[in-house]
Amino acid sequence: MARLNPDNLARAQELIALYPERRSALIPILHVLQEQDGYLSEDGMAHVAELVGLEPVEVRGTASFYDMFHFEPVGRYLVAVCTNIACMLQGAYRLLEHAEETLGVAHGGTTADGMFTLEDAECLALCGNAPCVTVNWRFFGDLDLQDFDRLVEDLRSGRLDGEVPAHGTLSRVRRRQGLMAVGAVGAGGSAADTAALPDGVQPGDGTSDAPGSAGDLPAPGTHLDLSTHRSTTATAVVDAAHLESPK
């Protein structure tokens, strides 16, 4: 499948409605596309470009900056072995070699059955449980070689299906709150701005009673204070200096 299917198109429209500018929803929508297909296809990125008002080359250029996005099909399970310093000191390179031997592929490769893609990863932010691995971005730490073998067997057998969704699913919780495009209706916005919203929903109209939904956000035209406030003595002095008018 290339373009977003109807359900994911609706999700993309919901995401667009969370931002003052539709292009700000680019990264979240790319994750929806990757959840659908497991990777970012050229046709899929072209569809996303249409939705957010960008050129396909701009979408690809942005996505290529982030190593969580893939442009070729990958396995059902994306296994990333961290080899940064904390994990390296705990035997990560031996674990990576063992993973290559166990799966029968070098890192960067995908097994013949399409089940596993193996990656050599930078810091996965689980240094306290080194060496660590992520499978579809779910963490597994304190792994020795036998633990890795058990993990692979559990994945193959489906015993971890409830914990580890298929590759591409970054989060199973849908976002319901963000910077709604306040003012899109009745404050200089166009009908095209409203078209991105789900049917029957207007920015800030309170139509949803779900906690954290669009209905909890300010009505059109409401001022949103997005400034950062710092209150410690040290930062107050710095802020005061920066806020002084130029001589």
Residue 123 resides in a domain: yes
Tens-digit pLDDT profile for residues 175-193 = 665 554 444 443 334 444 4
Burial 141-161 (b: 16+ CB within 10 A, else e): bebeeeebeebbebbeeeebe
Q: Say which residue, 121 or 207, is predicted with more confidence.
A: 121
Residue 107 resides in a domain: yes
Residue 122 resides in a domain: yes
What DSSP designation does 38 have? S
Residue 127 resides in a domain: yes
Tens-digit pLDDT profile for residues 32-70 = 999 999 899 999 999 999 999 999 999 999 999 998 899
Residue 87 resides in a domain: yes
79 membership: H or E segment, kind and range: strand 77-82
Residue 99 resides in a domain: yes
Residue 198 has what pLDDT? 46
Report residue 2's pLDDT band, with 50, 70 and 90 as the boundaries: confident
Tens-digit pLDDT profile for residues 78-98 = 999 999 999 999 999 999 999
Percent of the chain with pLDDT over 90: 61
- The number of folded domains in the chain is 1
Integer-rounded Cα Rg, in Å, for the chain is 22
Q: Which CATH number does the domain housing residue 121 bear?
A: 3.40.30.10
What is the residue range of 88's domain?
77-157
Give strand pairing partners of 116.
Answer: 77
- Give Cβ neighbours of residue 41 (< 8 Å, ≥ 6 apart): 2, 33
Residue 50 has what pLDDT? 96
Instruction: Look at residues 39, 76, 36 and name the one whose alpha carbon lies nearest to residue 166.
Output: 76
Residue 104 identity: G
Residue 57 resides in a domain: no
